[in-house]
Amino acid sequence: MSHWVYGRLMSVDRTQVLRAAAALLTRKATATMDEVARAAGIGRATLHRHFAGRDALVRALEELGLQELEAAHDRARTEEGPADEAVRRLVAEVEPVGPLLSFLVTENQLFEGDQQNEGWARLDARVSALFRRGQEQGVFRIDLTPAWLTEAFYGLIGSGAWAVQDGRVAAKDFQYMIVELLLGGARRSVEK
Amino acid sequence: MSHWVYGRLMSVDRTQVLRAAAALLTRKATATMDEVARAAGIGRATLHRHFAGRDALVRALEELGLQELEAAHDRARTEEGPADEAVRRLVAEVEPVGPLLSFLVTENQLFEGDQQNEGWARLDARVSALFRRGQEQGVFRIDLTPAWLTEAFYGLIGSGAWAVQDGRVAAKDFQYMIVELLLGGARRSVEK
DNA sequence: ATCGAATGAGACACTGATGTCTCATTGGGT
DNA sequence: ACCCAATGAGACATCAGTGTCTCATTCGAT
């Protein structure tokens, strides 16, 4: 059932197309199928041959984003070491996926009742587990629920990525600002 | 040039329509003009008589949101007292506008090159000034720029509002969670 | 009770995007 | 050099949403 592996030709690299689509759609979420095709350097017909429709394309992008986020989690090894350092590693690894994440979150809001990809629940669980672990370690406060911290995590990544893309803040500060705010907050404390 | 004040009838309250539109669009951003009209309890033709088109409707919602945000700022009296307490008051006042704010931010991303309403810049300036004041007071850390803190503020309000609307987190925790995270961060500190 | 502004419902043309199809062309494998 | 899968370009029908218009009806002011 592998559409994308043919006996002879593989002229159009599915992943390459997805990356081009992601790059465009994260900047202009309403981009047309034709625009996506041109951005990927292929014809609209070919785009349709690989992705049945706009929905299918978005679903594929969702799959790509989920894979990259899972990979980022794996690389960050969030189960190892102090939780705050793990959060620091995680933010660093997730940063490149920020724009795509932001796009997918917005897009997902439209799929109201439709079944959500269970991948999101798995990711939520991983982030949530990290914060819970931090609480059990005594590193994180216990009055902020893991669910809220998870929302805040994704929220900061998303709006941070957008702010960078929009030029409102400097890209080089992304990681530091998000980690420091997430962990330490804005208030000046005695320590540090 | 006041379309909405007639000699005799004012059957359709423009503000009432806007509130209904906001309530619907914040849940389903792709709602059709027809759906908006039905949600407001009026006919589509009447909706068009009051708002030239979908664009005009969104612009009007933007105006409404900006007014409410400005009003929230005023009520929070962000220029008075310690900056952290001011932030606390501000979050409390802004909370009800959260969903609308979230909708408008997403919607604004589409108006790519078009001229942005200068109201946003004014609001940014007010929030930014609050954080800067806090830094000058010695209440806030100085290694997090006011611009980033402002982005984080709006980001947390927006994603928090959405998480509540989606039922992922409890509405009653909104204010506390956002303020505590924004000010104190996730890390357990010696104080408090 | 009357008048007229405002409304609701429906018809209509228009637009933009989508999805499908055909056909000539390309380019890699043999 | 040949073959054929895959592509690009374009034509086409379709569909949903929009914006405009008409006309009968409603309802408040007088």
Break chain B into its structural domains and give their ranges: 1-51, 62-184
Residue B4 has a pLDDT of 38
State both tokens at A69: 């986020």
Instruction: Tell me if B1-51 shares its fold with B62-184.
Output: no
- pLDDT tens sequence across A43-78: 999 999 999 999 999 999 999 999 999 999 999 999
Residue B6 has a pLDDT of 40
Q: Where do the H-state alpha helices sit in B26-53?
A: 33-40, 44-50
- Measured between alpha carbons, how far is B147 from A138 in angstroms, rounded to an integer? 31
Residue A116 has a pLDDT of 85
- pLDDT tens sequence across A113-142: 667 889 999 999 999 999 999 999 999 999
Q: How far is the CA of A9 from the C1' of D2 (A)?
A: 17
Q: Smallest Cα–Cα separation from A183: which of A90, A93, A84, A94?
A: A84
In angstroms, the Cα distances linking A44 to A10, A38, A47, B50 are 17, 8, 5, 39
Whether A144 contacts chain B with CB within 8 A: yes
- pLDDT tens sequence across B128-181: 999 999 999 999 999 999 999 999 999 999 999 999 999 999 999 999 999 999
What is the arithmetic mean of pLDDT over A22-41?
96
pLDDT at A110 over 70: yes
Go through A18-34 and write b for each residue having 16 or more CB atoms within 10 A of its CB, e for each that does not: bebbbebbbeeeebeee
* DSSP 8-class letter at B116: P
* Residues B56 and B47: beta-carbon distance below 8 Å: no
* Residues A163 and A116: beta-carbon distance below 8 Å: no
In angstroms, the Cα distances linking B103 to A65, B5, B62, B92, B146 are 23, 28, 9, 19, 24
CATH of domain A1-51: 1.10.10
Residue B31 has a pLDDT of 96
- Measured between alpha carbons, how far is B165 from A1 in angstroms, rounded to an integer? 39
* Residues B97 and B68: beta-carbon distance below 8 Å: yes
State both tokens at A64: 């790509």
Q: Smallest Cα–Cα separation from B130: which of B75, B186, B77?
A: B77
Residue of A nearest to B179 (CA): A185
Residue A7 has a pLDDT of 38
What is the arithmetic mean of pLDDT over A94-99?
98
In the CATH hierarchy, which top-level class contains the domain B62-184?
mainly alpha
How many contacts does A have with B, using Cβ atoms within 8 A?
A: 158
- pLDDT tens sequence across A141-150: 999 999 999 9
* Residues B33 and B43: beta-carbon distance below 8 Å: no
State both tokens at B147: 């611009």
* Residues B159 and A155: beta-carbon distance below 8 Å: yes
Mean pLDDT by 10 residues, chain B (192 residues): 41 90 96 97 96 96 97 98 97 98 92 81 98 96 96 97 95 97 87 48
Q: Do A139 and B187 touch (CB under 8 A)?
A: yes
Distance from CA of B1 to the nearest CA of A (A): 34
Residue B113 has a pLDDT of 65
Whether A114 contacts chain B with CB within 8 A: no
Residue of A nearest to B147 (CA): A169
Q: Do B156 and A156 touch (CB under 8 A)?
A: yes
- Measured between alpha carbons, how far is B105 from A28 in angstroms, rounded to an integer? 14
* Residues B183 and B162: beta-carbon distance below 8 Å: no
- Measured between alpha carbons, how far is B161 from B98 in angstroms, rounded to an integer? 5
* DSSP 8-class letter at B111: S
pLDDT at A84 over 90: yes
Q: φ and ψ at B187, to 5 degrees?
A: -70, 140
- Measured between alpha carbons, how far is A149 from A169 in angstroms, rounded to an integer? 23
* Residues B25 and B61: beta-carbon distance below 8 Å: yes
- The length of chain A, given as a count of residues: 192
Domain A61-184 has CATH 1.10.357.10: yes
Whether A185 contacts chain B with CB within 8 A: yes
Give the SS3 label for residue B187: strand
**Residues facing residue A187 across a β-bridge:** B140
Strands (DSSP E) found in chain B: none
Q: Do B186 and A148 touch (CB under 8 A)?
A: no
In angstroms, the Cα distances linking B39 to B13, B31, B68, B71 are 14, 10, 21, 26
